Structure 1
Amino acid sequence: MSNTLKTPFEKGNQNQTTTWADCIAWYEDLARQHPRVLRFSRIGTSDAGVPIHAGVVSSDGAFNCGEIKREGRPVFFNNNGIHPGEPEGVDACMALVRDFCLEPQRLAALGKTVFIFIPLYNVDGAFNRNNTSRVNQDGPEQFGFRGNSRHLDLNRDFVKCDTLTARVFNEFFTAWDPDVMVDTHTSNGADYAYTMTLIHTQADKLGGDLGDFLRDTMLPHMYAEMDRRGWPTCPYVNPVKDSPDQGIAEFLETARFSTGYAALHHTIGFMPETHMLKPFADRYHSMRALVETALDFTVAHGERIVALRRAAKDAGRTRREWPIHWNMDASNPSSFRFKGYEAKYKPSLLGDYQRLWYDRSAPYEKDIPYYNRFPADIVVYAPRAYVVPQQWREVIERLQWNGVRMERVESEREQEVACYHVKSVTSRPNAYEGHMFHDDVQLERGCASVTLRAGDHIVWLDQDNARYAVEMLEPLGHDSFFRWGFFNSVLEKKEAYSDYVFEDEAERLLREEPALAAKFADWKAANPALLQDQGAVLDFIFANCARWREPEWGRYPVFMID
């Protein structure tokens, strides 16, 4: 192999990672030399104006996305560098793609499967190179930064899409509709023997035969194959208490994360997390082994995976009951044979407390509880269609980027709809990725007659992308648009009153509205201390009366046609 085709990792002491400029130039040169194997091009631009690229590898020179999908060929997607400080996947992908170009036998083994990749996703963060932002990480010598140019974590941005980069990803992912995705990462946390740990699309959340296939067939094969390759792998080490000794829980990757986003499209997703306390060279080699293991399985079982995804999409077209929120079953753990180090405590030298440490001189291998069942705890009866009024353009755009089919209302008409009223919202006390995320939402369902105007959108659920629509438009979905604050303006009452005038009006309202009077009586009985507070009394009457009600206040503005 010529030196020009070696990656920076291979040229040096196996403790270097590529820069963005060297990475892109390297792929462009490789594509020029092997045009029948590799197609490499720009797919968009980041928030800082940096080009974002993607590549396609096929064994027979087929590169057209539309034709590949129409033929039903399996598509495997490798995303890299979402956190540029976790770069082993970036370098491993370079070597893998090069070997496809140089080794005919390896290329032929792809068969009909098409390998697509983003070489370095967070291009903004890749320019912020340092060796200080990953406090516990063993190499490489220089690396990029987790945040993008807007200081956002792109692995929290897949559905809210605050960044241009996430929009590029949404549109690229939707166009190719991959069957399996591997999004490469590095993790911190407990100390243990494994170099590679694995997050996967949570099988209960993926659901149906596709979820069963992942749990019962694909995952056991991948763990066995990684062990055979010399890289024993365990589930992502997410201790339920202080250390893995008391058990670990599967990571419930909601739609803000890459694997949770993949589930919205019925794609099997993996987020390999190498252990940052291990040397960079070991992390690199285990990452390549993991990507190859997932790819080889996809090649061998591609037809089955494609068929299972097709069946899941077809089932969604007529499904009425949709799980939209899941929670760990703490009463029914399985077990995992775990290779760890004994967790111990000793006095801290910094303060008056006991600190945790792991004794590497005391390794163990034992069965620990593994909490890997996540039944749905919120199930909704979905309508035949949702109505998204045109003024909520940020929501409409995201539905479009994800291939959701919508019917445009052509002329004004009255429509009977079901709707939600927001009874209460509890938000996080601090900003989370640029939003005040709504953790607890209480709803009340009702009916209304609304005016649909020309330009409003109807989202019929008889379509392949029904799951994305339901989980994003139902307010109680884990990462719904409502939870991320896209509809916050409806939570604010727009009109007010003057207390000395409204006092007399409130008396008339209580005489004229029996329902209000009954509700006020209940409120007084439950809140006797507030009767001394004029503002509290009048606010309650003003908020609950029929005469001065603002229909839009507290009404979730996405409606349902049953």
Structure 2
Amino acid sequence: MTAAQDDPYSTPFESGNGNRTATWAECIAFYERLAARFPGVLHWRQIGLSDTGAPIHAGVVTADGVFDRETLRRQRRPVFFNNNGIHPGEPEGIDACMALVRDFCLQPDRLAALGDTVFLFIPVYNVDGCINRQATSRVNQLGPESFGFRGNGRHLDLNRDFIKCDSLAAQVFNRFFTAWDPDVMVDTHTSNGADYACTMTLIPTQPDKLGGGLGDFLRERMLPAIYGDMDRRGWPTCPYVNLLAETPDDGIEDFLDLPRFSTGYAALHHTIGFMPETHMLKPFADRVASMRTLVEVVLAFTLANAARIQALRNEARVAAARQTRWPLTWRNDHDRPASLRFRGYQAVRTPSRLGNYERLAYDRSQPWEKDIVHFDRCVEDIAVAAPKAYLVPQAWREVIERLQWNGVEMRRLEADQLFDAARVYRVQQVASRPNAYEGHMFHDQVTLASHTEPFQARAGDMWVPLDQPNARYAVETLEPEAHDSFFRWGFFNSVLEKKEAFSAYVFEDTALQMLEDEPDLRRRFEEWKTANPAKLSDQGAVLGFLFAHGRRHAEPEWRRYPVVALMQAVPLVTARA
């Protein structure tokens, strides 16, 4: 028996053969032993349930044994958050975190080095997937010998669920993240894709999207320090290899981390996020070692710069409350290329034995090192003038509760109120993905028309002011054109359906009268006929156009986006409910 196998605090990875990861049961039992033996170091508790009813746990490590969240918040203690097992087939973070927490318990100097910083962690986020074990779902991955599955109990990818919160796990995570408000987050993963020399690659919160002084600090100070320290510790790291073409030779661009992903979600809370991605074809033992090193490197930087990070986050919150213009979508900026020194392997193409095409492979006997293009900037694509507030009708309960889970300040109207200058959207057109995406028919393209009008709010509707620290979350979920708005995820799909129809033999006469009574309809109908001559022989198309565009039988709620943006916060009239 090896020393590791004889050690009651060795992890399954350490006591195994370097190609084994802990099961969920082993992981939880390990932390329970540590928490029982070291109650002044580790506080361990259940924070919720998964969709299959399994418990989700979290741990807190502090150097002084203070674990109460409200006390720590009052003391303004920095919080470093390590999330693991969101994709349990990518388990390096699970094993690395176990060893790191164990060492906090056993090594007083390491614990003391935390100072005032709180080490917060979720050992296994996707519990359902971790329990669902096999050795085949990661098609291109080298080890470990057995691992969990990407999907949770509802077959959802939790790294697409942070905004829509279809899973109980995401609902737990939203509340947990908001309550603890971490300053820095590391969410551990394994990469798919091209072959290259680095074991570790890194997706940070995109600095331009993070914005302001916080984004500048991440780009100019934090990332160079992390890459430099990883290199000095023997694990050279490069940006995530997000290819421009088929191979790295042609360059890479920053991953656009939308709010559906962990780092994009973190940005909505002005948290600096990192998604380390170890390379799938490197030995599992190397992947675990590089992952632990990455967590330690980011933690060390956080410890040394905690006051500055907290100050920049506070500045970001103040700026959000005063912002007059909000970006809604972003794109990679191909007008400002940077250069990245990259170590890759020669791409080789040979005839396939399966079909009439050439297959790609990488020849590790032909390594190369050269500068490649790296598009590391993003620019705004669509932006909108900031309203004073939003009004969310009380009927949309699932939207209101997600805002609440994320700490968005709001007030329930106690009486009917008439607001002037409300920005109202009407949906002109949506283009949705042809197949379901994470349980939704996601709207990839949204075309809107907007106008300003008075708006009658009802007692019980929710008034969401934007002069608040959590304005960014509100804007990027409630503005329908935003990358991951609630509208794009289908929360308001019922407004896209017209509720009444017509019988053609009756409506034919009505339509003729509507053309007499409505000059604007007559004009639009003439334009439509000119543009669509082939449709004039289709009675359904002709009457359908007139029914949809005429005023007589208009349904005001049809294609009208229910959430309105108030350009003035003061109501015109307040009436008793």
Which TM-score applies when normalising by structure 2? 0.96
Which residue number corresponds to residue 181 of structure 2? 177
Equivalent of 2:100, from 90, 96, 102? 96
Task: Give the whole-Å Cα distance in 1 for the aligned partners of 2:34 and 2:67.
Answer: 16
The offset of 1:71, in angstroms, is: 2.1
Equivalent of 1:206, from 201, 207, 210? 210
Which residue number corresponds to residue 221 of structure 1? 225
State the Cα deviation string for residues 31-58 of structure 1 (Å, max 9, x = none): 1111111101000000000000000011
Which residue number corresponds to residue 243 of structure 1? 247
Does 2:16 align with 1:12? yes
Most deviating of 499-508 and 411-420: 411-420
Task: Give the whole-Å Cα distance in 1 for the aligned partners of 2:532 and 2:150.
Answer: 49
Does 2:432 align with 1:427? yes
Task: Give the whole-Å Cα distance in 2 for the aligned partners of 1:360 and 1:413.
Answer: 69
Letter in 2 for 1:63: F
Does 2:553 align with 1:551? no
Which residue number corresponds to residue 133 of structure 1? 137
Equivalent of 1:343, from 344, 347, 361? 347
Which residue number corresponds to residue 471 of structure 2? 466
The offset of 1:447, in angstroms, is: 2.9
Which residue number corresponds to residue 456 of structure 2? 451
State the Cα deviation string for residues 410-437 of structure 1 (Å, max 9, x = none): 1223333221000000000000000000
Does 2:278 align with 1:274? yes
The offset of 1:332, in angstroms, is: 2.0
Task: Give the whole-Å Cα distance in 1 for the aligned partners of 2:134 and 2:219.
Answer: 39
Which residue number corresponds to residue 575 of structure 2? none
State the Cα deviation string for residues 223-253 of structure 1 (Å, max 9, x = none): 0100000000011111110000000111101
Please state whether the residue corresponding to 1:375 is helix, strand or coil.
strand
Most deviating of 509-518 and 124-133: 509-518
Task: Give the whole-Å Cα distance in 1 for the aligned partners of 2:199 and 2:76.
Answer: 35
Which residue number corresponds to residue 503 of structure 1? 508
Matches within 5 A, 1:118-197: 118-197=122-201
Task: Give the whole-Å Cα distance in 1 for the aligned partners of 2:530 and 2:183.
Answer: 58
Please state whether the residue corresponding to 1:436 is helix, strand or coil.
coil
Matches within 5 A, 1:67-82: 67-82=71-86
Which residue number corresponds to residue 490 of structure 2? 485
Structure 2 residues not aligned, in runs of 5+:
568-577
The offset of 1:114, in angstroms, is: 0.7
Task: Give the whole-Å Cα distance in 1 for the aligned partners of 2:339 and 2:71.
Answer: 44
The offset of 1:408, in angstroms, is: 0.2
The offset of 1:401, in angstroms, is: 0.7
Please state whether the residue corresponding to 2:43 is helix, strand or coil.
strand
Letter in 2 for 1:487: F
Letter in 1 for 2:545: F
State the Cα deviation string for residues 246-273 of structure 1 (Å, max 9, x = none): 0011110101100010011010000000
Which residue number corresponds to residue 397 of structure 1? 401
State the Cα deviation string for residues 456-495 of structure 1 (Å, max 9, x = none): 1011011111000000000011000000000000000001
The offset of 1:116, in angstroms, is: 0.1
Which residue number corresponds to residue 338 of structure 2? 334
Most deviating of 448-457 and 101-110: 448-457
Please state whether the residue corresponding to 1:5 is helix, strand or coil.
coil
Task: Give the whole-Å Cα distance in 1 for the aligned partners of 2:181 and 2:241.
Answer: 29
The offset of 1:157, in angstroms, is: 0.5
Task: Give the whole-Å Cα distance in 1 for the aligned partners of 2:448 and 2:188.
Answer: 38
Letter in 1 for 2:405: W
Matches within 5 A, 1:270-349: 270-349=274-353
Q: What CA RMSD, in Å, does the superposition of the two structures yield over aligned residues?
A: 1.0
Most deviating of 324-333 and 170-179: 324-333
Does 2:524 align with 1:519? yes
Does 2:258 align with 1:254? yes
Most deviating of 113-122 and 18-27: 18-27
Please state whether the residue corresponding to 1:286 is helix, strand or coil.
helix
Does 2:58 align with 1:54? yes
**Percent identical:** 66
Equivalent of 1:365, from 340, 348, 369? 369
The offset of 1:505, in angstroms, is: 1.3
Shift in alpha-carbon separation, 1:495–1:448, aligned structure 2, 3 A: farther
Task: Give the whole-Å Cα distance in 2 for the aligned partners of 1:425 and 1:188.
Answer: 32
Task: Give the whole-Å Cα distance in 2 for the aligned partners of 1:9 and 1:339.
Answer: 29
State the Cα deviation string for residues 10-46 of structure 1 (Å, max 9, x = none): 1111111111111111111101111111101000000
Which residue number corresponds to residue 476 of structure 1? 481
Task: Give the whole-Å Cα distance in 2 for the aligned partners of 1:341 and 1:408.
Answer: 60
Which residue number corresponds to residue 43 of structure 2? 39
Task: Give the whole-Å Cα distance in 2 for the aligned partners of 1:6 and 1:167.
Answer: 33
Equivalent of 2:544, from 525, 535, 539? 539
Please state whether the residue corresponding to 1:443 is helix, strand or coil.
strand
Task: Give the whole-Å Cα distance in 1 for the aligned partners of 2:364 and 2:426.
Answer: 55
Letter in 1 for 2:480: P
**Structure 1 residue ranges, 4+ long, deviating more than 6 angstroms after superposition:** none
The offset of 1:220, in angstroms, is: 0.5
Please state whether the residue corresponding to 2:378 is helix, strand or coil.
coil
Task: Give the whole-Å Cα distance in 1 for the aligned partners of 2:62 and 2:11.
Answer: 21
The offset of 1:450, in angstroms, is: 3.6
Which residue number corresponds to residue 28 of structure 1? 32
Which TM-score applies when normalising by structure 1? 0.99
Task: Give the whole-Å Cα distance in 1 for the aligned partners of 2:465 and 2:418.
Answer: 18
Task: Give the whole-Å Cα distance in 2 for the aligned partners of 1:355 and 1:14.
Answer: 32
The offset of 1:182, in angstroms, is: 0.2
Letter in 2 for 1:347: P
